[in-house]
Amino acid sequence: MAIPHILGLPMELIYLIFQEFSPKEVVPFAQTSQTALALSLSIVDLGEVFKWACEDNNEQAMNFVLPSILHAMEKDPGMVFDALANACRCRKVKAVQLLIKAGVPVELPRGLSRYSLGPRFYNTPLGCAMRDPDPEVLDLLLDLGVNISTAVIHYSDPLAPYIPNPAPLHHAVMHGFIQLVRILLARGVDANQHDRFHRSMLSLAADYGHVEIVKLLLSRGADVQSTDYKGRAALSYATDRGYLAIVHLLLDAGAQINAADKNGCTPLMRAVLKNHDGLVRQLVQRGADIHMENKRGRTALSLAASPNLAQIVQYLASRGADANHVSRSGRSPMCYAEERKRKEAIKALEAAGCRRTRCWRWRGRHQEHLWNCNSDADDAN
The pLDDT tens digits of the residues spanning 200-228 come to: 999 999 999 999 999 999 999 999 999 99
Q: Is residue 169's pLDDT more than 60? A: yes
Quick count: other Cβ atoms within 10 Å of Cβ 154?
24
Contacts of 318 (CB under 8 A, 6+ apart): 352
Look at the chain and count its residues. 381
Homologous superfamily (CATH) of 257-373 is Ankyrin repeat-containing domain (1.25.40.20)
d(CA 158, CA 219): 31
Q: Is residue 145's pLDDT more than 80? A: no
Q: Is residue 291's pLDDT more than 80? A: yes
Q: Predicted confidence band at 95 (pLDDT cuts at 50, 70, 90)?
A: confident
Answer for the pair 332, 359: CB distance below 8 angstroms, yes or no: yes
* Domain residue limits, the chain: 257-373
Percent above pLDDT 70 for the chain: 69
Mean pLDDT of the chain: 75
Answer for the pair 340, 306: CB distance below 8 angstroms, yes or no: yes
Q: Is residue 378's pLDDT more than 50? A: no
Helices 77-89 and 59-71 sit at what angle, rounded to 10 degrees?
150
177-201 pLDDT, tens digit per residue, is 888 888 888 878 889 988 878 899 9
**AA identity, residue 137:** V
d(CA 31, CA 220): 64
- Residues β-bridged to residue 360: 369
Answer for the pair 127, 107: CB distance below 8 angstroms, yes or no: no
Query: Long-range contacts for 154-161 (Cβ within 8 Å, ≥24 apart)?
Result: 154/121, 154/122, 154/124, 154/125, 154/126, 154/127, 154/130, 155/122, 155/127, 156/122, 156/127, 156/130, 156/131, 157/122, 158/119, 158/122
* pLDDT in the model for residue 337: 86
d(CA 344, CA 307): 10
Answer for the pair 227, 206: CB distance below 8 angstroms, yes or no: no
d(CA 333, CA 325): 7
Answer for the pair 6, 68: CB distance below 8 angstroms, yes or no: yes
Q: Is residue 161's pLDDT more than 50? A: no
d(CA 108, CA 304): 51
| Global model pTM greater than 0.75 | no
Pick from 193, 137, 136: which is nearest to 169 by CA?
Answer: 193
Mean pLDDT over residues 261-275, rounded? 96
Question: Terminal CA-to-CA distance of the chain, rounded, Å?
Answer: 92
Q: Is residue 45's pLDDT more than 70? A: no
